[in-house]
């Protein structure tokens, strides 16, 4: 496994591999790797000759300074995990390498980045799109792998690729969960043992919503889901939404669209967690 920190060097190395006719799969991450990330890498390995993983905690996608400071960082351990998982190339640049100058780019993703995460984390998706576009330009992948764990992010990356005509195939991958249903996340490391014992309630609530879909009104479902979650005093909900999977707009009728997804964001103590599930 080769580790690069320099943009020019990784860019040339990938260009050489591509000139030999090899296909390149790319997994962008912010590190603190877990089995969710490794499942994306495995998919990339199944579908490409070369798999490349980036590790970069992107400061411009954090709207909260404390969240950025407390974001877990474990580069050495991450590299060990990637080596064991047979990753070919790691790109782990510094902030100065990625952003030698102030970033001024502004994207417009229509309604996609105005709702849910976009509404609660101003600037988050613009910062995410800037880094993803830059990483695509540097790493030149044929395919890029993103988790449905960050469902809104996946939809926005697809839109970015469409808007900018980027020649990369974006592949969405299913959510990997702990045995008790909690979606794996780098942030789970920050939960206290007590908070960790409550965290599976998010998954249980999503499952319950799926079970109730079509049986009660969407309004009632939302109200009861919120009640279930807030029965735990440690939980502070940011949003519980039921949306059309394509547009991410809220739906108020079970039959109005084909695929309906429930999405949840909440604080458990000081840790912000998100999860989602197709419920119809
Ligand atoms: P992050 O390091 O949190 O930015 O995540 C990097 C990539 O891994 C993103 O595409 C995430 O959606 C994906 N990911 C994170 N957690 C999971 C999970 N539990 N299952 C599947 N993919 C995940």
CB atoms < 10 A from the CB of 115, how many? 18
Distance from the Cα of residue 153 to its chain's centroid: 6
What local confidence, expressed as pLDDT, does residue 262 receive? 98
The residue ranges of every structural domain in the chain are 2-173, 186-278
Tens of pLDDT along 219-278? 999 999 999 999 999 999 999 999 999 999 999 999 999 999 999 999 999 999 999 999
Tens of pLDDT along 222-235? 999 999 999 999 99
Q: What band does 149 get if pLDDT is binned at 50, 70 and 90?
A: very high
Among the atoms of ligand 1, which is closest to the Cα of residue 40?
A: 22
- The whole-chain average pLDDT of the chain stands at 97
Could you give the CA distance from residue 280 to residue 265 in angstroms, rounded to a whole number?
Answer: 20
What local confidence, expressed as pLDDT, does residue 232 receive? 97
Q: What band does 96 get if pLDDT is binned at 50, 70 and 90?
A: very high
In a mutational test of the pocket of ligand 1, which residue from 147, 154, 181, 186 has the highest number of ligand atoms less than 8 Å from its CB?
147
CA of 234 to the centre of ligand 1 (A): 24
Could you give the CA distance from residue 58 to residue 68 in angstroms, rounded to a whole number?
Answer: 9
What local confidence, expressed as pLDDT, does residue 124 receive? 97
User: Edge to edge, what strands does the sheet with 260-268 contain?
Assistant: 235-244, 260-268, 271-278
Residue nearest to atom 18 of ligand 1 (CA): 36
* Torsion angle, alpha carbons of 35, 37, 41, 44, to 10: 120
What are the residues whose beta carbons fall under 8 Å from the beta carbon of 21, sequence distance 6 or more?
Answer: none
Residues 187-215, mean pLDDT to the nearest whole number: 97
Among the atoms of ligand 1, which is closest to the Cα of residue 186?
A: 3
What local confidence, expressed as pLDDT, does residue 51 receive? 99
Could you give the CA distance from residue 26 to residue 145 in angstroms, rounded to a whole number?
Answer: 6
Which are the catalytic amino acids? 37
- The angle subtended at Cα 166 by Cα 164 and Cα 169, nearest 5°, is 130
In a mutational test of the pocket of ligand 1, which residue from 28, 31, 32, 40 has the highest number of ligand atoms less than 8 Å from its CB?
40
CA of 25 to the centre of ligand 1 (A): 16
Residue nearest to atom 8 of ligand 1 (CA): 37
Could you give the CA distance from residue 266 to residue 200 in angstroms, rounded to a whole number?
Answer: 12
Fold of 186-278: 3.30.1300
Look up tokens 């990625």; give the residue.
98
For 252-276, give one letter per residue: b (16+ CB within 10 A) or e: eebeebeebbbbbbbebeebbbbbb
Distance from the Cα of residue 7 to its chain's centroid: 23
CA of 220 to the centre of ligand 1 (A): 31
Residue list, ligand 1 pocket, CB within 6 Å: 29-30, 36-37, 39-40, 146-147, 149-150, 173, 175-176, 183-186
CA of 215 to the centre of ligand 1 (A): 32
CA of 217 to the centre of ligand 1 (A): 32
Look up tokens 């991958």; give the residue.
173
Q: Structure tokens of 260?
A: 């309906």
What local confidence, expressed as pLDDT, does residue 81 receive? 98
| 3-class SS letters over the chain | CEEECCHHHHHHHHHHHHHCCCCEEEEEECCCCCHHHHHHHHHHHHHCCEEEEEECCCHHHCCCHHHHHHCCCCHHHHHHHHHHCCCCEEECCCHHHHCCCCCCCCCCCHHHHCCCHHHHCCCHHHHHHHHHHHHHHHHCCCEEEEEHHHHHHHHHHHHHHHHCCCCCEEEEECCCECCCCCECCHHHHHCCHHHHHHCCHHHHHHHHHHHHCCCCCHHHHHHHHHHHHHCCCCEEEEEEEEEECCCCCECCCCCCCCCEEEEEEEEECCEEEEEEEECC
What local confidence, expressed as pLDDT, does residue 52 receive? 98
Could you give the CA distance from residue 152 to residue 8 in angstroms, rounded to a whole number?
Answer: 31
Residues 37-52, mean pLDDT to the nearest whole number: 98
Residues 169-182, mean pLDDT to the nearest whole number: 98
Asked if the 2-173 domain carries CATH number 3.40.50.620, the reply is yes
Tell whether the torsion through CA atoms of 124, 130, 135 and 141 is positive or negative. positive
What local confidence, expressed as pLDDT, does residue 8 receive? 98
């Amino acid at each position: 496994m080769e580790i690069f920190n320099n943009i020019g060097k990784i860019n040339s190395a990938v260009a050489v591999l591509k000139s030999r006719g090899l296909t390149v799969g790319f997994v962008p991450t912010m590190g603190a790797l877990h089995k969710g990330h490794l499942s994306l890498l495995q998919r990339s390995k199944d579908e490409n000759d070369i798999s490349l993983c980036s590790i970069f905690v992107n400061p411009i996608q954090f709207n909260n300074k404390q969240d950025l400071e407390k974001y877990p960082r474990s580069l050495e351990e991450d590299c060990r995990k990637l080596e064991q998982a047979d990753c070919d190339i790691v790109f782990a640049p510094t902030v100065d390498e990625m952003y030698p100058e102030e970033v001024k780019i502004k994207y417009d993703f229509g309604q996609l980045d105005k709702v849910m995460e976009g509404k609660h984390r101003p600037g988050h998706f613009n910062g995410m799109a800037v880094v993803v576009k830059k990483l695509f330009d540097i790493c030149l992948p044929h395919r890029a792998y993103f988790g449905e764990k960050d469902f809104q992010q996946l939809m926005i990356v697809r839109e970015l690729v469409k808007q900018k005509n980027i020649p990369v195939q974006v592949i969405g991958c299913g959510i990997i969960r702990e045995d008790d249903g909690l979606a794996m996340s780098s942030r789970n490391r920050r939960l206290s043992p007590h908070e960790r014992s409550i965290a599976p309630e998010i998954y249980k609530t999503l499952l319950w919503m799926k079970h109730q879909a079509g049986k009660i009104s969407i309004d009632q479902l939302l109200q009861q889901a919120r009640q279930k979650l807030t029965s735990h005093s440690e939980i502070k909900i940011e949003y519980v939404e039921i949306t059309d999977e394509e547009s991410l707009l809220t739906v108020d009728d079970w039959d109005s669209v084909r695929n309906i997804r429930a999405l949840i964001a909440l604080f458990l103590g000081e840790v912000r967690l998100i999860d989602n599930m197709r419920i119809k």
